[in-house]
A and B are shown apart, each in its own frame.
Chain A
């Protein structure tokens, strides 16, 4: 089945120790998103890639970076995690209608829960 996969599902890191979260997809979608979701809140978009074009949200801290080496994979790097970065991180993908540029339905991965000690 075509899907969005995130690894690891749970990640424990130490304060200030860099961590990388992984997302892969078999849907061949050209857009990949990273969201941060804290307890009892809605998902918050951090950034997205449209093909190789990186689009950062204005309020995403510099501590968060992303890489997309190919269509299938996208990584979220947290350079110096703080206690406030503990959250669920959700990856999603969508296709885009080339004619209109309209983004289609997003498909979410299972998420990675990050704990910062």
Chain B
């Protein structure tokens, strides 16, 4: 069975702190996606990681991909309240190559 596992599922951080969200997946995939979702809103694409060793950064967020370990990380640097949201990772899988999502990590950044 194809699985995408994120941890932690809930993360409460203080502003200014660093933390990492992990995404493990059970299928071979040449791409991995990170999405952000604010409450009541749709998914916003953050990163598309296309190859082993890929690293992308946008502001306080940095994502990396290790296809051999089937692991992606989303690192948060010096968190601010605006980063509070739910973060999903996803990979293509199955016979149709559709997206398989992790359960999401709900991040809450407190002053």
Interfacial residues, chain A to chain B (CB-CB below 8 A): 33, 40-43, 45, 48, 55, 88, 90, 101-103, 105-111, 113
| A103 proximity list for chain B (CB < 8 A) | 92, 96-98
Contact of B98 among A33, A88, A105 (CB under 8 A): A33
| A41 proximity list for chain B (CB < 8 A) | 103-104
Q: In terms of DSSP, what is the predominant structure of the interface of chain B?
A: strand
Q: Are B42 and A42 in contact (CB under 8 A)?
A: no
- What total of chain B residues lie within 8 Å of the partner, measured CB to CB? 19
Q: Which residues of chain B (86-111) have a CB below 8 Å from chain A?
A: 88, 92, 96-99, 101-104, 106
When each residue 75-94 of chain B gets 1 if its CB lies under 8 Å from chain A and 0 otherwise, what string results?
00000000000001000100
Q: Are B97 and A90 in contact (CB under 8 A)?
A: no
| B43 proximity list for chain A (CB < 8 A) | 43, 90, 108
Interfacial residues, chain B to chain A (CB-CB below 8 A): 33, 40-45, 48, 88, 92, 96-99, 101-104, 106
Contact of B103 among A42, A101, A111 (CB under 8 A): A42
Which residue of the partner chain A has the closest CB to B42?
A111
Known A-B contacts A42-B103, A42-B104, A48-B98; A105 and B48 likewise in contact (beta carbons under 8 Å): yes
Candidate in A40, A48, A55, A101 with the most chain B CB atoms within 10 angstroms: A40
Q: Tell me, rounded to whole Å, the shortest Cβ–Cβ distance linking B97 to chain A.
A: 5
Could you tell me the distance between the alpha carbons of A92 and B81 in the complex, rounded to whole angstroms? Answer: 28
Contact of B33 among A33, A42, A105, A109 (CB under 8 A): A105
Q: Are B102 and A42 in contact (CB under 8 A)?
A: yes
Task: Beyond the given A105-B48, A108-B45, A111-B42, please list 15 additional residue pairs across the A-B interface where CB-CB is below 8 A.
Answer: A33-B98, A40-B106, A42-B88, A43-B101, A45-B98, A48-B96, A90-B43, A101-B97, A105-B33, A106-B33, A108-B42, A108-B43, A109-B42, A110-B42, A113-B40
